[in-house]
Chain A
Amino acid sequence: MRLLLLTISIFTTYLTYGQFPKFHVGGLARSLSTSAHLDKEDTINNDISQDFNIVFDLAIKGELNKHVNLYSELRLGSNLEVFDTSSSYLNLRRLLIFGDLNDYISFEIGDIDLKMTPFTLWNSNEEGEVNENSIFSNYRDIQRYENFNNDNHWRRQGMTVFGNKSVSKNDTISYKFFGTREFASNGISNPDIYIFGGDVNYDFKNFYSGINYIDLFSNNKGISLDTNFHNHVVSSKSALKIKNLEFSSEFGLSKLSNSSTILNNKWIDGEFVSLGFKANFSKNLFISLNYRSVSDDFSSPGAQTKRINYSRSPNLFPQVSNSLNNREVSLNEIITDINFIRSQSFYNRTIDYSLDKFNPIFGVSEPYGLATPNRRGFSSKIQFNDTSKTIYLYGKCAVLSDLIGEGVDQKRKYLSFSVASDVYINKILNFNKTILLKSGYHYSNSKRKHSPEIFVDDVDFNNSILDIGIEMEAIKNFYLIFGYKSINASGIDYLSVRNDDFIISSFDKLQLDINQKISSFGLKYNFNKKSSLLLNYQEMKFSNNLLDSNFKINQFFILVQIRF
């Protein structure tokens, strides 16, 4: 009997440990060849840009034991513009060690993805997209992949501990705590900057409540700087579901503090309140209504940091019009100005204190998403899918105002709305081959009328984005795609300039009359569901009517993507 037990015991042990390590392998191969030509009127600047990159990402997930797993992404890349394979490189794109210590405690160490709420930690989407078709979304997906913009998560380097536990039969307490390092000190003048945060949530049947906390802080130990900064944000969120209705709320405050002995404003406090209502009237119809009020001094770097660093120049033709004009990162660049070298990308990967610059051609209504300071008002969404999935409709609108006047007693009023639709024309016409018409339109304005006594031009700024595209399956797996995007921005506004302590110190007068149009045509062949070839020609026209500046860029792309 003892021998039998010993045999079973040894066998079980070998059986258990014999499962490890386990490995799963996946990957992606992508080749992108671009050729861009600036119009011939520009005789000073380089008017041709060519690039040819190939990357091969290998993802390995290994179960080292039942508690510890490893995930890594290795990148083998090469710039083949001149077929110089000696310039190839090997990168570790992501390294993550994760696992479950027990039923209630899990952990992740390394490159972790973090998200809380739109007011505390949230990576808001980049601008310029209403409902674009695949000829644009192909490149946008690459940008998001290259810059680790996974949903609204921020990719950070640090560790997180999370888990959940049921107290009774119907409830669950879940938690997550994390710590990341944002900047490494240079040992002389720049301090280390860290983020610490977490949330604790309680779910009880149809009721949910939770607390979120995040602190971005500096540690000046070992350097000459005598001031440390903290930016605390704490919020409470709750939701209640009654049948198809859901009521939710989130309110919180921010505290921006410093330990300086000379700065006057040691504490800047801000607040926000958000109330929401959602209704699923059927499987196909969804409506939401939200009210929010965010104070002018609400400082939440985790939610207000922009995905795009608009203070940088585009990589493609940074100067145009015979060096008269410096280009800004705009619609075309966000989508197609893809750079595989991290340091050269204008996509932002850091969370820092001050409010990031934004490009007002995308509108001034909500440049920092829901967490935009000094906004109050209502927003609403409606979404409809017909049962045959022939038509998809989406609408969104927001009526907001300043919570407090900026530089003047009067408050700005903001109106924005978006409408979008997908129509499968082939289903209406009973064709087998896909004919998909995608369209979207976004409009926003800000208005503020000034007293005639101050002799200051009224605020009246308008922005619109049009997205329209059609995708036709000519023969099996072979698609003709046409896409058109247009963005217009015109009018006058006064954008606040904030000090490092978040105080508005001045205003920049914004006066624009800009139009950008992108026409794109492509041929796409799907080798299978995971692999495709796209040949694409597009023309971008830009005109600044105030400066009487116009230029045109023609681009040709060859994109091959293989996933496995």
Chain B
Amino acid sequence: MLSIIRNIVFLFASLTFISCEKEVFVGPAIETLYGTLNVLEPFSNNKPVGVDFSVNDTVKFECLFSITNDYQIDIIGRNSGAKFTTNGSNIDLSDSYWLGNSEGIFFKKSEWCDITLSFTGNDTLISDSILILGERDFSDLGILLTSFEDPSEYSIVTSSNNDLFEVNNSNSTIEGDNSLNTLGTGSAAWFGAVRFSFNSNTITETDPNNIFFNGFFNSQYLGSAFVIKVFEDENANGIYDSGIDEAYALKVGLTTNSQWNKYSSSFGSFVIDQSGNNVLIDGVLNPQNIIRIDITNSQSGTANGQFGYIADYFLISYNQPL
């Protein structure tokens, strides 16, 4: 009896010392909760002599932290005031890059940008800078209607109510050297338009909800607005026939803060235009049938006053706004 018990105890004791073991620790990694943030490798980027976004350069950031941390990189153009922000959570910046895009107005060519790296819940702030050698070409996002550098891309339709509707050279542009400058006086609904004409099937995206008009406007006149109007060629005769083809429009009120603001509107929000001789045919906006786009200088209501804006860089983008 004793020998049996002895053997059992021995076997049991042997098992005891190896039992209950697990290979990996339990709970979340403690350094993610209580590690001290230290910057182990300095903050830098891979374009020390400048980045040329016009040839599709990409800025990659480098920095190594002691722990995984939530971080934010802010880039601000010193001249344009353009901003770009990217966030992440990692032990380094291998997930972060910059393609030259911005949250509002564009970064400028030959512009120095300040870059700051900050961390959630930590006062650490690290700075760097970068020179933009060339601006990014966003036309690959869809159709660049114009940046007002090439007069062949647009035409201007004036109204008896517009005091000013012209493209001119300016220091304050979004892209290039030119911008559209408009001003109208009175109580009319529109004060001139800039027109873009092209063949049907130029817009290849079929779902209006996935097509966005993007444009930059700068206005100081209270009540100013622009109307974007698209014209279909439903009978495929190459021209818009009022009363036969359909037109769709959207009026957008402008923020009159005398600063550049970006506006993006989905074609899916456009409504049938039945002003003048325009009629409702099928009530369906078919993007492939669009052969003309007009951007007017307008006003939000019917007040008597001065309305206008400076505008630049009109782009049709697919799937997401600029």
Interface, chain A (partner B; CB < 8 A): 207, 240, 247, 249, 251, 271-273, 275, 291, 293-296, 374, 376, 403-409, 450, 453-457, 494, 496, 504-507, 509
Contacts and interface: CB of A to CB of B under 8 A. Distances in A.
Nearest to A298: B20
A295 B5 CA distance: 25
A404 B36 contact: no
B137 interface: no
Interface stretch (B27-35, B81-89, B147-155): B27-35
B281 interface: no
For the complex of A and B, 9 pairs with smallest distance between CB atoms: A407-B30, A405-B25, A504-B27, A454-B31, A295-B20, A455-B66, A455-B36, A273-B16, A407-B27
A409 B36 contact: no
Given A293-B19, A453-B66, 18 more contacts: A271-B19, A271-B20, A273-B19, A294-B20, A296-B26, A405-B25, A407-B27, A454-B31, A455-B31, A455-B35, A456-B34, A456-B36, A457-B34, A494-B30, A505-B27, A507-B28, A509-B33, A509-B34
Interface string B1-45: 100010001001101110111101111111101111110000000
Contacts of B19: 271, 273, 293
Contacts of B17: 293
B5 A404 contact: no
A463 to B, nearest CB: 21
Contacts of A406: 25-27, 30
B35 A454 contact: yes
Contacts of B37: 455
A450 B5 CA distance: 43
B67 interface: yes
Contacts of B36: 455-457
Nearest to A209: B5
Question: Per DSSP, are chain A's interface residues mostly helix, strand or loop, or mixed?
Answer: strand
A65 B280 CA distance: 101
Contacts of B28: 407, 504-507
Given A251-B12, A407-B25, A454 B20 contact: no
A453 B12 CA distance: 39
10 contacts: A240-B5, A273-B19, A275-B12, A293-B20, A296-B22, A408-B30, A455-B36, A496-B27, A504-B26, A509-B34
Contacts of A453: 66
A456 B26 CA distance: 17
B262 to A, nearest CB: 42
A273 B36 CA distance: 38
Q: Which of B13, B30, B33 has the most C-beta atoms of chain A within 10 angstroms of its own C-beta?
A: B30
B30 A247 contact: no
A207 B5 contact: yes
Contact of B27 (A240, A454, A506, A509): A506
A272 B16 CA distance: 9
Given A454-B67, A455-B66, A496-B27, A407 B33 contact: yes
B218 to A, nearest CB: 48
B38 to A, nearest CB: 6
Contacts of B29: 407-408, 454
Contact of A275 (B13, B22, B31): B13
Contacts of B12: 249, 251, 273, 275
A494 B34 contact: yes
A540 to B, nearest CB: 33
Contact of B25 (A240, A291, A295, A409): A409
Contacts of A496: 27
B23 to A, nearest CB: 9
Nearest to A407: B30
B27 A273 contact: no
B15 to A, nearest CB: 8
Given A249-B9, A251-B12, A408-B30, A456 B35 contact: yes
Contacts of B31: 408, 454-456
Contacts of A405: 25-26
A456 B29 CA distance: 11
Nearest to A408: B30
Given A291-B16, A496-B27, A507 B21 contact: no
Contacts of B26: 296, 374, 404-407, 504
A102 to B, nearest CB: 32
B20 A376 contact: yes
A454 B28 CA distance: 13
Contacts of B66: 453-455
Interface in B65-85: 66-67
B287 to A, nearest CB: 45
B215 to A, nearest CB: 49
Contacts of B1: 207
B320 to A, nearest CB: 35
A295 B67 CA distance: 29
Contacts of B22: 296, 403-404
A507 B30 contact: yes
Q: Which of B12, B19, B24, B66 has the most C-beta atoms of chain A within 10 angstroms of its own C-beta?
A: B19
A233 to B, nearest CB: 15
A291 B12 CA distance: 12
Contacts of B34: 456-457, 494, 507, 509
A504 B67 CA distance: 21
A407 B15 CA distance: 26
A455 B21 contact: no
A497 to B, nearest CB: 8
Nearest to B16: A273
A272 B27 CA distance: 20
A42 B34 CA distance: 34
Q: Which of B1, B16, B21 has the most C-beta atoms of chain A within 10 angstroms of its own C-beta?
A: B16
Nearest to A253: B20
Contacts of A272: 20
B71 to A, nearest CB: 16
Interface string B94-119: 00000000000000000000000000
A403 B21 contact: yes
B20 A456 contact: no
